[in-house]
C-alpha cells in the first residue's frame, strides 16, 4: 500500500498524479479462503480488515454483488454517535465511536470523521426529562453527554426557531460532543484499501447465489463467479440479510423496509452540528461540501425497491423547516433510499446462526452506519474465534426466542411502529 501523506500529495502534484496505484486490487476469486465475508459494505470490509489486522487471518475474501459501499454505506445521513439509551447499545456504539476516533490514522485514509457534536432538541418538560434520563444513563456508563439550556442551544445553532410559541418550541437539548458525521463512501474505500494491503481479496460483481452446506456445516458459497470454499462464512448484507440467509434455508426476525433521505444544494456554512429532536423524527446536518443533509421516518412497509413515497420527503422538509425556518428557501437537490433490515426489536443481530460456520451480522435497521468499525471488529472477533465478543454477545440471534430483546424505543416487534 502506498501510504498517503501531504508530502506525497505534493510530489504527486508535480508529476501529474500519474503514479497513484489502485486503492485496492481487482483479484480473481480463489477456490477457497479461510473466511468469506459476504457483502462489501462498510461492515463487511471492516470485518475483513480486522480479521487480517487483529487476528492475522489473511486468507479472507469479501464478495460484493455490485460495487463496494453501494448499499446502505453510501445511502445514509452519515451521523455517528453513541448516545443510545439501552446499555447494550451504548456499549456497542461507544466501542464503535472510539474506533471512529482513530480511523483516519489507522486506515491512512481521511474518512473526515467530524466530531461536531450531535444534539437532541427537547421541546417540552417531559422531553427534557427524557433527555436527562438518556444523558444520565450515558454518563453512568462513562459516555459523554451534556444537557444544554435553551440559551446554550440558541448559541450553538443560531438558525433554530427559538420562538416560544413555535409548534415545537426548543426548551433545551442534550449534546454528545464526540458525535458528528463522517464521509460515508470514504469508510468503505478506506477499509477496502487497508484490507487489501493486508492481503484480503475484495471481489466486486460477485453475487452469492447459494451455500454449500454439509451435515449442518457450511463449506463454502456458490457465486456468479464460481464456487468458493470457506471454513467460515459471515453475512454482512444488511438490507438483504433475509435474502442471503434464505439461501441457507434460514428465516430471520427481519423485514426489509425503506428509508429515504435527501440533500439540499450546497451553501456556505449554516449548521455546524448534527440536529435531532426528541419529539420529531427528523435529523439535520450539513456536509463538508455544504449540502444540508436531511432524513426522517422510514416508509413503513416492506420493500426492496429503493424507491420511496414522496410524502415522506415532504414530511421531512416540513419538520426541518419547523426547526430551522430559513431552510424553506433551500432546494432539495438529490434524494435517495436505502433498503433497511428492520429487526424485531430495533437492534442489530450479530453472531451465530443455526448452521455451523455460518455467522450473521445484520438487522441494523436505520442505524448501521455509525456502528461500522465496531460491528466489523466484533464480527471479526466472532469469525476468527468462533465465540462472541462480550459486547456483541447480547445481540445474538437467539435472543428473540429467549425473550432477551434489546428494544431501544420500546416499540415492539412491528418494524413500522419503530
For residue 258, give the nearest of 240, 277, 243 by alpha carbon: 240
240 binds other proteins (CB under 8 A): yes
Report the half-sphere exposure of 214 (CA within 13 A, side-chain side): 7
Q: Is the dihedral of CA 371, 372, 373, 375 positive or negative?
A: positive
Residues 200-239 that bind other proteins (CB under 8 A): 204
Cα–Cα distances in angstroms (integers) from residue 175 to residues 97, 148, 156, 158, 370, in the given order: 15, 7, 10, 15, 16
Q: Does 246 bind other proteins (CB under 8 A)?
A: yes
CB 376 within 8 A of CB 191: yes
Q: Which of these ranges, 39-47, 307-315, 367-375, 384-392, lies near other proteins under the rule CB under 8 A?
A: 307-315
Are 371 and 341 in contact by the 8 Å Cβ rule? The answer is: no
CB nearer to other proteins: pick between 58 and 112: 112
Question: Which triple of cell numbers denotes residue 70?
Answer: 453501494
Q: Backbone phi, then psi, for 330, in 5-degree steps? A: -80, 160
**Distance of alpha carbon 88 from alpha carbon 350, whole angstroms:** 13
Q: How far is the CB of 255 from other proteins (least distance, A)?
A: 5
Choice from 154, 156, 162, 309 touching other proteins (CB under 8 A): 309
Tell me the three cell numbers of residue 166.
Answer: 413555535
C-beta of 308 vs 376, nearer to other proteins: 308
| Range 319-348, binding other proteins (CB under 8 A) | 319-322, 325-337, 344
User: 10 Å Cβ neighbour count for 170?
Assistant: 22
Q: Cell 463467479 appears where?
A: 225
Nearer to other proteins, 220 or 242 (CB): 242
| Of residues 282-301, those binding other proteins (CB under 8 A) | 286, 288-290, 300-301
Residues 87-146 that bind other proteins (CB under 8 A): 87, 100-102, 104-105, 108-110, 112-116, 123-126, 129-130, 132-133, 135-137, 139-141, 145-146
If binding is defined by CB under 8 A, does position 310 make contact with other proteins?
A: yes
Query: Minimal distance in Å, beta carbon 108 to other proteins?
Result: 6
**Which residues from 55-94 bind other proteins, rule CB under 8 A?**
66-67, 69-70, 74, 87
Residue 318 in the binding site for other proteins (CB under 8 A): yes
Among positions 352-381, residues that touch other proteins (CB under 8 A) are none
Least distance to other proteins, CB of residue 82, Å: 14
- Out of 280, 293, 355, 365, the residue judged to bind other proteins by CB under 8 A: 280
The residue (of 304 and 385) whose beta carbon lies closer to other proteins is 304
Count of residues of this chain found to bind other proteins when the rule CB under 8 A is applied: 138
d(CA 333, CA 134): 34
Q: Name the minimum Å distance from CB 54 to other proteins.
A: 21
List Cα–Cα distances, 128 to 134, 147, 162, 388, in angstroms.
10, 9, 16, 37
Q: Cβ closer to other proteins: 5 or 386?
A: 5
Determine the Cα–Cα distance for residues 157 and 359; give it in Å rounded to an integer. Answer: 43
Q: Are 161 and 14 in contact (CB under 8 A)?
A: no
153 binding other proteins? (CB under 8 A): no
Amino acid at each position: 500500500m502506498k501510504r498517503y501523506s501531504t508530502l506525497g500529495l505534493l510530489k504527486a502534484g508535480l508529476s501529474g498524479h500519474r503514479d497513484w496505484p489502485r486503492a485496492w486490487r481487482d483479484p480473481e476469486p480463489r477456490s477457497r479462503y479461510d473466511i468469506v465475508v459476504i457483502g462489501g459494505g462498510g461492515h463487511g470490509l471492516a470485518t475483513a480488515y480486522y480479521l487480517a489486522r487483529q487476528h492475522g487471518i489473511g486468507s479472507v475474501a469479501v464478495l460484493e454483488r455490485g460495487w463496494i459501499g453501494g448499499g446502505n454505506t453510501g445511502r445514509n445521513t452519515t451521523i455517528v454517535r453513541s448516545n443510545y439509551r439501552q446499555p447494550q447499545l451504548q456499549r456497542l456504539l461507544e466501542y464503535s465511536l472510539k474506533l471512529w476516533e482513530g480511523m483516519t490514522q489507522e486506515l491512512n485514509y481521511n474518512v473526515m470523521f467530524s466530531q461536531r457534536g450531535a444534539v437532541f432538541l427537547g421541546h417540552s418538560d417531559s422531553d427534557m426529562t427524557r433527555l436527562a434520563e438518556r444523558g444520565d444513563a450515558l454518563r453512568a456508563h462513562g459516555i459523554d453527554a451534556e444537557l444544554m439550556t435553551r440559551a446554550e442551544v440558541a448559541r450553538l445553532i443560531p438558525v433554530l426557531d427559538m420562538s416560544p410559541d413555535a409548534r415545537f418550541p426548543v426548551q433545551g437539548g442534550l449534546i454528545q460532543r464526540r458525535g458528528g458525521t463522517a464521509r460515508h463512501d470514504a469508510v468503505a474505500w478506506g477499509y477496502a484499501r487497508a484490507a487489501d494491503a493486508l492481503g484480503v481479496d475484495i471481489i466486486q460483481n460477485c453475487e452469492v447465489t447459494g451455500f454449500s452446506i454439509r451435515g449442518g456445516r457450511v463449506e463454502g458459497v456458490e457465486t456468479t463467479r464460481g464456487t468458493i470454499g470457506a471454513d467460515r462464512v459471515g453475512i454482512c448484507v444488511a438490507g438483504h440479510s433475509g435474502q442471503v440467509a434464505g439461501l441457507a434455508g434460514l428465516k430471520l426476525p427481519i423485514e426489509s423496509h425503506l428509508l429515504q433521505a435527501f440533500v439540499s444544494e450546497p451553501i456556505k456554512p449554516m449548521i455546524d452540528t448534527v440536529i435531532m429532536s426528541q419529539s420529531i423524527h427528523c435529523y439535520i446536518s450539513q456536509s463538508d461540501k455544504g449540502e444540508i443533509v436531511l432524513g426522517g421516518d422510514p416508509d413503513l412497509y416492506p420493500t426492496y425497491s429503493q424507491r420511496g413515497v414522496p410524502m415522506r420527503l415532504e414530511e421531512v422538509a416540513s419538520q426541518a423547516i419547523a426547526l430551522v425556518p430559513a431552510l424553506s428557501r433551500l432546494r432539495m437537490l438529490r434524494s435517495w433510499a436505502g433498503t433497511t433490515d428492520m429487526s424485531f426489536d430495533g437492534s442489530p443481530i450479530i453472531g451465530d446462526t443455526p448452521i455451523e460456520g455460518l455467522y450473521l451480522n445484520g438487522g441494523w435497521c436505520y442505524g448501521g452506519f455509525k456502528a461500522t468499525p465496531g460491528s466489523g471488529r466484533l464480527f471479526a472477533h466472532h469469525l476468527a474465534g468462533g465465540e462472541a465478543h462480550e459486547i456483541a454477545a447480547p445481540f445474538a440471534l437467539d435472543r428473540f426466542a429467549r425473550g432477551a430483546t434489546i428494544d431501544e424505543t420500546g416499540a415492539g416487534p412491528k418494524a413500522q411502529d419503530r
